[in-house]
Chain A
């Protein structure tokens, strides 16, 4: 099993560009999450999904959109990137809500 994978691992964008981050899990987990991690801030939840076809806002959703068309994939989109979105993005998944979360390796995004 690959666990949780993220694509890409690194990306540099210019302000205003768009991109999509892909998260995939092969553990048949219902719940999936997108977090961002910034120095001194800890992990903050952007959006999450409790099952295929569902999405919900987390703590810092502005500027991001998500989709969960397939159970194994959770996409995070930036429509018009801003320098404030420079961060490390982590995807995670869990079988249940109150359950161990399995994290992907992270995507380092820089917006110039």
Chain B
């Protein structure tokens, strides 16, 4: 069974800090999605990656296929980054397998 584990569950940071959220996944998953859920509930897809690294603004996502591990980094964090970040494993043949999310709070 495909599985995805996220850490930490909760994270509090001071504004400006560099943030890392981790995601480990099981054999069979070939791509990783990172999603952001705003405090109001809306869900936005941030990245989908199957190798290497992707960057969008202050957000960077990396994936290590050999170690079955992905990280989401936020540089120069800001209170507006406060949200729940969710990783999801994609095996290609079956629907996404979601982690339980990391709740991030960035304090000014």
Contact = CB atoms under 8 A, between A and B. Distances in A.
B76 interface: no
Nearest to A48: B95
Contact of B45 (A88, A102, A105): A102
B49 to A, nearest CB: 11
Interface residues of B, number: 21
B100 A101 contact: no
A92 B31 CA distance: 18
B22 to A, nearest CB: 16
A45 B96 CA distance: 8
Nearest to B93: A97
B48 A103 contact: no
B100 A103 contact: no
A103 B33 contact: no
Interface string A91-112: 0100001111111011000000
Interface string A58-78: 110000000000000000000
Interface in A3-24: none
Contact of A45 (B30, B93, B95): B95
Q: In the A-B complex, list the 10 residue pairs whose CB atoms are closest, starting with the nearest.
A: A103-B43, A42-B100, A43-B98, A42-B98, A100-B45, A45-B95, A98-B92, A106-B41, A100-B48, A98-B90
Interface of B: 30-31, 33, 35, 41-45, 48, 86, 88, 90, 92-93, 95-96, 98-101
24 contacts: A33-B95, A41-B100, A42-B99, A42-B100, A42-B101, A43-B86, A44-B98, A45-B95, A58-B95, A90-B43, A98-B30, A98-B48, A98-B90, A98-B92, A100-B45, A100-B48, A101-B33, A101-B45, A102-B45, A103-B35, A103-B42, A103-B45, A105-B41, A106-B42
